Amino acid sequence: TADEMWQHCSIRLTDAVQYVVEFAKHIPGFRLLSQNDQITLLKTGSMEVVLVRMCRFFNTENNTVFFDGKFAGTEVFESLVCGDLITALFDFARGMCALQLTEQQIALFSALVLINADRPSLEDRGRVQRVQRSVELGLTHILHRENQESLMHELYQRMAVLHSLCSLHMEKLRWFTQRYPLTAHSLFPPLYKELFASEAELLPGTTH
């Protein structure tokens, strides 16, 4: 059922977000940011990093993603009742795979996605910008060294797509929260609720 699958996916997503929290601690300069700004960046960017990392678990040959111990196609997620979001996520993962990024490039791109000085509610935007610039220079250096400078433009385009995917996720979550309030408020993992559910409740009305 929809509520069972949403709950299941929220648990898997929370596991992935916990990885992002650990990953963030190893980004040079991240721990020098204020606690408020660290939390703000994680709240606004962790889902985007999860989607970037999704390409490591995607099989382009049969359009499946490794989920719950096996490779799953879009049909596995049909009960979520958000086919447009699932299709868009699979399309994004396939597009990321096509770039054939190395593990190092994915890590630097993930850091750049997370350390975004344009996020709202930052206390010390200047300090975040300095950390962001440092990560950006690191990624640029790696791409230049491997004669892949043109990839930078591609990656910035992907960042715009990530933003729209996360907005769509919030829309779907708001719909689900209205339809299954008990599951959303009582059964979702605390971290998932902290990052997404409270924000979803503040979004203007939308349709699924």
pLDDT in tens, the chain (208 residues): 888 999 999 999 999 999 999 999 999 999 999 999 999 999 999 999 999 999 999 999 999 999 989 999 999 999 999 999 999 999 999 999 999 999 999 999 999 999 999 999 999 999 999 999 999 999 999 999 999 999 999 999 999 999 999 999 999 999 999 998 888 888 899 988 888 876 656 444 444 4
- For residue range 64-85, list pLDDT tens digits in order: 999 989 999 999 999 999 999 9
pTM of the model: 0.90
Greatest Cα pair distance in the chain:
53
In the chain, what are the domain boundaries? 2-200
Q: Which CATH superfamily is domain 2-200 in?
A: Retinoid X Receptor (1.10.565.10)
Cα–Cα distance, 11 to 193 (Å, whole number): 11
Tell me what pLDDT residue 67 has.
92
Tell me what pLDDT residue 182 has.
87
Tell me what pLDDT residue 207 has.
42
